[in-house]
Amino acid sequence: MKKFLLFLKFEKSYLFLYFISNIIFVALLTTDPSISFRWDTFIYAFALNILIFIAFLLYRFQKNSQAIRHIDEEDYENLSFEGVFYEQYIEELKRNHIRTINDVQAKQKEYHDYIVSWFHEIKTPISVLRLMQQTDFEPKSLIEEITKIEQYVDQALYYAKLDNFNQDYEIKNCNLDRLVKDTLKTHSKAFFAKKIRLNLSIEPTIIQSDSKWLQFILNQLITNSLKYTNENGEIAISTNETQQEKLLIIEDNGVGIKQEDLPRIFNRGFTGTNGRIFTKSTGMGLYLAQELSNKLGHFITCTSDENVYTQFVIHFPKNIDPFWATKKNSLAHSKGAPL
């Protein structure tokens, strides 16, 4: 009974139409002088009309109940114009839900793959340290392995923070030259160990960014240059400025990058030929550097010639406010749009 009363609630238009039509019918009978009004005929017609209307409602109730029972079946038939659009809307919600689940599962898999790769990566310097305990070792080698561990830990930490970037950043004026020099100090032992010359030509440059995140980006790029520059090589770091942007240029004369690998070096997990031949790599350093740069309103480009040089350029556009660019990216991310 409760179900039938709920059904009647949604059949108000039919009830209203029924009562209005009856009122019009009675009004015509009583006001038209050419019609001889008889109560017995009226009561008979009225009762017959009610029976027909009740039969119609029962039929509608039965059809709706049947449709509800078979709503999950493919041959489900809508009983209203509104229902057709609700069905389309629900189907679209289902598709969006499936896409969201697939995105979440893909991110979980990517995170799992990265963590597995990271574990294998960090085991190498730990194993080297264990071997050093059993043999005579140079303090320089110990520092190198500890530095590697620190870099891997930092990379994992920043990767974990990537999705919550908007909760942990502060855009302000930064001295780019000071950030570069501070980053180079952390790599000074690597420069000495590989006897790599540093050609530093940077002017005092003020840019709008987050110093902590930008220093991580610089660290990834300089680490990459050191990794693929041979002993007695050279790394040149310089600044430049145009009407549209300020530039930080990091160039080395190392092994270079194959042209077929160049378009993919910023892809997540891409190691390329160099990553497979010269050293084990998670393929996350340059990906994180580019992702964080974009979130800060900057971007990185790379040009290279195999066995000749590799040049990374960080672009700091003058006509983009990094704060509002980051806010825009955060809003788009919260709505499920691509960053």
pLDDT tens string 184-237: 998 888 888 889 999 999 999 999 998 989 999 999 999 999 989 988 999 999
Residues 159/117, Cβ–Cβ less than 8 Å: no
- Within 10 A of 57 (CB to CB), how many other CB atoms are there? 17
Question: Would the CA dihedral through 127, 128, 133, 135 be positive or negative?
Answer: positive
Q: Give the pLDDT score at 276.
A: 54
The number of C-alpha atoms within 13 Å of 180 and in the hemisphere containing its C-beta is 22
**Is 175 in a helix, a strand, or coil?**
strand
Weakly modelled stretches of the chain, pLDDT under 50: 336-339
Q: How far apart are CA 227 and CA 194, in angstroms?
A: 10
Quick one: pLDDT at residue 339? 38
**pTM to 2 decimal places:** 0.63
Could you state, in order of their start, the residue ranges of all structural domains in the chain? 2-79, 113-334
CATH of domain 113-334: 3.30.565.10
- Confidence (pLDDT) at 110: 76
The arrangement of strands across the sheet holding 299-305 comes to: 197-201, 234-241, 245-252, 309-317, 299-305
Give the C-alpha separation, 310 to 295, whole Å. Answer: 24
Phi-psi region for residue 306, left (φ > 0), alpha (ψ -120 to 50) or beta?
beta
Q: What is the pLDDT of residue 240?
A: 93
Amino acid letter at 113? D
